[in-house]
Structure 1
């Protein structure tokens, strides 16, 4: 994606002269540096040359596959190190190898205060200090004591225990304690509502739960009467030390008190039951985007295979790396990413979406966000967060004066041109993009995107402005988050790479949707993932297990994803559709709602969008969370006055936004029947707290339909 060049010819000539002079002066040193720094096996060359490099191949030579990574051994990879086949062994290996290195870090809270906004709302703002670190040895000891303490409180091996908590260092410590003592860990999103929490706790029949003080008081306390088996609540915060007012039969303990109990000689000396690779490590409850959350049973061997596959795609991963953890640890992407880091001795600094950057909502103006202080080298992100960064930076570019905007545009397009040729641009990186790169701390060398498709515009922007590769991945909870990750030297957009070394992928014809493995030029079909990372199935949902999982004639386990993909000639997979997102209109046309949303989210006027279609109707409609700055500018351009809520509920504004969206849809080459004909504007953003999106910011279509039912009827003429 090139930026529009509306430039002064003199400036353009001057810029190109500077670039030419710089290129001539640095040509020889650059060539020598490149030759010296490229190790054996690294892939160089232009984008066209990189695209020809095979990433995967069909093992049987059939268009439907199965496809495996090029260079993969005859057997799929199952672990990182010989003999390290369970998560407790993996952590013990790391603690033995890196005992004194920093492991988990948390920022000190210096002050908190309430700040009133112009609209009357009050936001809590914080000033945070430096990161306080615990070494691998300290974390291992803390986990061991906590596990021993839980056993002393009656928690039995192979009996489920729940964790309902925000992402923080204590989450990982608690998880490692459970892995050590073979307590299957049921994970629940911290944003789940009361009925979903009660469902998960009752289905897994837990007697012990690990949570935070805030969630205990705001969420869990209200539903305790609905969870009769619960006996012990372990709170990860140190205060208070006593917990009055809880139902009879329920004891509340501080984490520190449970660790002290576990450290007693008579308890510490107890023999623990070590897990087998086939034992359940995690029962991971999904975010419930399509109804009641389902618990996915994940064994130790499943996770070990998944993280081994992921680690192979991150070059030079080592103890010098720093990872920033802020996505929900109850999500398979974040848990897998952190376990990959721990297995290699990296340090993990914790954050949250509200404190991530200097401009984040909870950071007091003038103080530093977490990325500025931590300066991570590794980071995982969902497309929603990357899209926000892209739009925020582009808004700032629009606000620049003419000279600044011209230089930025020239530098962007010049780097993009060099980028496709396989050349680096150290001058542009240093003089133009350093400030943009500093938004993520300035040292990020790998960005991993997962959870949903990443738009081509955002991916190109992140590659150019943040001066690091963006690895797009594909995986599901049912496959331990592992499926594919693009090679970091492959800068092509819209694709998710080839299969990881721990799994293989097949395409199954979906005749109803018109996708077949015999399609030209690329074979297409439903994506099936097979390998040791494919999980044990859904907890207590046997009918769904029969539908979604199967074992082939070789004893390998497979999962039917419901996603539609196509394989390109170089072995890269592209996600092109989803069975559940496909709606057949009254006239017989199939509309991919996900495709429509992905195209229209690139429009600067859109912060979020949900496309909707009723099969009894002839057209698509949409719900849109508009970008406040762009919408106010649009309204002002046409002389429309009113508050934010009034503007969003004004028919004239809806028509203006619809016109802009239609133009964007046509530019993106959507078919006429795919373009929303009517829209509804939402003044309130969709966050996990509203219940309209998951913690990974995926749309909850069922909840959105219920929330906007009256608007749906209005847009479909009262039907």
Structure 2
């Protein structure tokens, strides 16, 4: 298979697929519409012409600050046709976060999605000597009365409709190079200011190549739901790979409506983070708890059967005994089908999952009910995937087998080191940080601790910077503990504390929906969530659940004290990154009083 520069990819696919559907997207009236490959290609060329007319040059950095939209993808590929570079920003980013990227990358033109992004970008423009132009995707956005420079996207794409701009775009399309910079993906900055990860078209083309070798089950008959933000390298690289394969993309614009849109689209593929599957797991468990004794038994038997068939036999390349195979196919056509249909994944092929640790218990459960999760590990700096589950022979407890043509070794402090053609060019405007990110022999330092198995699989243990050392000299891996705890349906979020402390404690945001039901069933009265979180009976009940979860931990890893918080950690408060990772430093500062109380004698 030939892998193409992103600047020409869609146009080559349009010649092959013509009127077949490339994109599906929602209109404001909640109606799904389709865009053919030919139309997709035409819109990209028109947008590329408008960019050329605006005097966007090869190598210029363009900002995009929006929800997932068809126009987002059109803008990306139009920039690549001009050999320009895309610097995406999360739709939830604050003005200060946008300003940082605008200034660091020297962004003169920014494409924005809705009112929130326009308002923030306009505020940045008023204070920035760099940002000159805002182009607005959503026609419903109300521009500021004094704003005379911003333009709606639909008007913008008509500005380059002339022979000179078309000739310029065509000339640039003939000059495409794999070494061209494609994207600058800014890291979420959990431990400092964000760094711009420079990825070239060669990086993306290599990613396509190694995924083609590993992911043998997908084809141009598939339909992928684009749900994670296209700012995130996981979704961006996955969506580009799907387009490379001729797979139709359904663009989910509003993340809060995914439960509705997934049932409408019924995708065969969808990349996602573990939190999505944790919610699915909790929902299934809740339904089973209220079922009759007979239904419970049937469900438990179906899971046992699915575990044997999928994990003990099929995954090991073995033929299952007839008795197990017959039972499995009966359950597949009944119980498993019903569960998947309710979620909207009854046509599911497989579902890539990465971005955070996935509980082994939830992973095994999903595989058992015939929901094929392809669990993996990667970073922005490695154009996403370093390792992922193969079709057969994967091991629960690992993050999969190392991708073809990548070298991985374990360095000092058990750090995972990576070398290969998907590894970034470096950090934008940060030569010192770039130099520090690589070993003397050219391996990228991931900052993650882990180990390799005999089967060339990675066992991920912890972010090295997140490792805690208690005052007793014991090392604690907080993510490992947090992943285990969030298997419990009563725990919505948890931040483990323990660095330089005598023992491990935790700040816990309970699932208040379940907690209210428990309080109601046990006659516990309360006037507010603060009062419920502070109730001693509730506290003791939650701690009891934690004790059961940590039965297999060593004594120094066990949580000894907890504080229940009445409100969740959020991106808006600065406690979570845009990729929903804990900003531990902020949490430690914000809840210093609550933490100190847990360590008083």
Per the TM superposition, whether the score is higher than 0.5 is: yes
Per-residue deviation, residues 64-102 of structure 1 (Å, max 9, x unmatched): xxxxxxxxxxxxxxxx51xx4521133332222222211
Evaluate the alpha carbon distance shift between residue 656 and residue 242 of structure 1 in structure 2; reply closer, same or farther with a 3 A threshold. Answer: closer
* Secondary structure at 2:255 match in 1: coil
Number of the residue aligned with 2:14: 95
- TM-score, normalising length from structure 1? 0.78
Determine if the alignment matches structure 1 residue 200 to structure 2 residue 101.
yes
Contact 1:189 1:287 (8 Å CA) reproduced: no
Report how far residue 551 of structure 1 moved.
6.1
Report how far residue 704 of structure 1 moved.
2.1
For 1:682 and 1:288, locate their aligned partners in 2 and report how far apart those are by CA, in whole Å: 25
Number of the residue aligned with 1:401: 292
Number of the residue aligned with 1:189: 90
| 1:592 aligns with one of 459, 468, 477 | 477
Contact 1:469 1:491 (8 Å CA) reproduced: no
Within 5 Å, which residues of 2 pair with 1:173-252? Answer: 173-239=74-140, 244-246=145-147, 251-252=149-150
Number of the residue aligned with 1:13: none
* Secondary structure at 2:461 match in 1: strand
Per-residue deviation, residues 336-384 of structure 1 (Å, max 9, x unmatched): 1101100011100012431111xxxxxxxxxxx1112111111111011
| 1:343 aligns with one of 215, 240, 244 | 244
Evaluate the alpha carbon distance shift between residue 197 and residue 281 of structure 1 in structure 2; reply closer, same or farther with a 3 A threshold. Answer: same
For 1:239 and 1:657, locate their aligned partners in 2 and report how far apart those are by CA, in whole Å: 46
| Equivalences, count | 583
| 1:623 aligns with one of 507, 521, 529 | 507
Determine if the alignment matches structure 1 residue 610 to structure 2 residue 529.
no
Contact 1:621 1:715 (8 Å CA) reproduced: yes
Number of the residue aligned with 1:560: 445
Number of the residue aligned with 1:703: 586
Within 5 Å, which residues of 2 pair with 1:484-523? Answer: 484-510=387-413
Per-residue deviation, residues 109-131 of structure 1 (Å, max 9, x unmatched): 43xxxxxxxxxxxxxxxxx33x2
Within 5 Å, which residues of 2 pair with 1:25-104? Answer: 81=2, 84-104=3-23
Determine if the alignment matches structure 1 residue 577 to structure 2 residue 462.
yes
Report how far residue 269 of structure 1 moved.
2.8
| 1:436 aligns with one of 336, 339, 343 | 339
Report how far residue 468 of structure 1 moved.
3.5
Report how far residue 637 of structure 1 moved.
5.5
Contact 2:118 2:136 (8 Å CA) reproduced: no
Contact 2:64 2:86 (8 Å CA) reproduced: yes
Contact 1:163 1:210 (8 Å CA) reproduced: yes
Evaluate the alpha carbon distance shift between residue 564 and residue 558 of structure 1 in structure 2; reply closer, same or farther with a 3 A threshold. Answer: same
Farther off after superposition, 325-334 or 423-432: 423-432
Per-residue deviation, residues 526-550 of structure 1 (Å, max 9, x unmatched): 1111011000111112221111124
| 2:272 aligns with one of 367, 381, 394 | 381
For 1:657 and 1:242, locate their aligned partners in 2 and report how far apart those are by CA, in whole Å: 49
Structure whose CA Rg is larger: 1
Report how far residue 462 of structure 1 moved.
1.5
| 1:276 aligns with one of 177, 184, 187 | 177
For 1:240 and 1:220, locate their aligned partners in 2 and report how far apart those are by CA, in whole Å: 13
Number of the residue aligned with 2:576: 693
| 1:301 aligns with one of 202, 208, 225 | 202
- TM-score, normalising length from structure 2? 0.92
| 1:461 aligns with one of 365, 377, 386 | 365
Report how far residue 491 of structure 1 moved.
4.8
Contact 1:635 1:641 (8 Å CA) reproduced: yes
Contact 1:384 1:697 (8 Å CA) reproduced: no
For 1:671 and 1:475, locate their aligned partners in 2 and report how far apart those are by CA, in whole Å: 29
Report how far residue 575 of structure 1 moved.
0.7
Number of the residue aligned with 1:163: 64
Contact 1:308 1:502 (8 Å CA) reproduced: no
For 2:118 and 2:56, locate their aligned partners in 1 and report how far apart those are by CA, in whole Å: 23
* Secondary structure at 2:358 match in 1: coil
Evaluate the alpha carbon distance shift between residue 269 and residue 475 of structure 1 in structure 2; reply closer, same or farther with a 3 A threshold. Answer: same
Segments of 5+ residues of structure 1 without an aligned counterpart are 1-79, 111-127, 358-368, 511-524
| 1:655 aligns with one of 522, 536, 540 | 540
Determine if the alignment matches structure 1 residue 261 to structure 2 residue 159.
yes
Number of the residue aligned with 1:426: 329
Number of the residue aligned with 2:317: none
Contact 1:585 1:619 (8 Å CA) reproduced: yes
Determine if the alignment matches structure 1 residue 133 to structure 2 residue 34.
yes
Evaluate the alpha carbon distance shift between residue 241 and residue 612 of structure 1 in structure 2; reply closer, same or farther with a 3 A threshold. Answer: closer
Contact 1:470 1:488 (8 Å CA) reproduced: no
Report how far residue 611 of structure 1 moved.
0.7
For 1:372 and 1:485, locate their aligned partners in 2 and report how far apart those are by CA, in whole Å: 27
Evaluate the alpha carbon distance shift between residue 354 and residue 216 of structure 1 in structure 2; reply closer, same or farther with a 3 A threshold. Answer: closer
Number of the residue aligned with 2:73: 172
For 2:41 and 2:571, locate their aligned partners in 1 and report how far apart those are by CA, in whole Å: 32
* Secondary structure at 2:276 match in 1: helix
Report how far residue 397 of structure 1 moved.
0.9
Segments of 5+ residues of structure 2 without an aligned counterpart are 315-319
Evaluate the alpha carbon distance shift between residue 416 and residue 198 of structure 1 in structure 2; reply closer, same or farther with a 3 A threshold. Answer: same
Determine if the alignment matches structure 1 residue 452 to structure 2 residue 348.
no
Greater RCO (Cα-Cα under 8 Å, separation 6 or more): 1
Per-residue deviation, residues 466-523 of structure 1 (Å, max 9, x unmatched): x23211111100101021111122353121222112411111132xxxxxxxxxxxxx
For 1:97 and 1:241, locate their aligned partners in 2 and report how far apart those are by CA, in whole Å: 40
Contact 1:583 1:613 (8 Å CA) reproduced: yes
For 2:99 and 2:142, locate their aligned partners in 1 and report how far apart those are by CA, in whole Å: 26
Determine if the alignment matches structure 1 residue 539 to structure 2 residue 428.
yes
| 1:285 aligns with one of 155, 180, 186 | 186
| 2:307 aligns with one of 412, 416, 421 | 416
Contact 2:121 2:134 (8 Å CA) reproduced: no
Evaluate the alpha carbon distance shift between residue 225 and residue 710 of structure 1 in structure 2; reply closer, same or farther with a 3 A threshold. Answer: farther
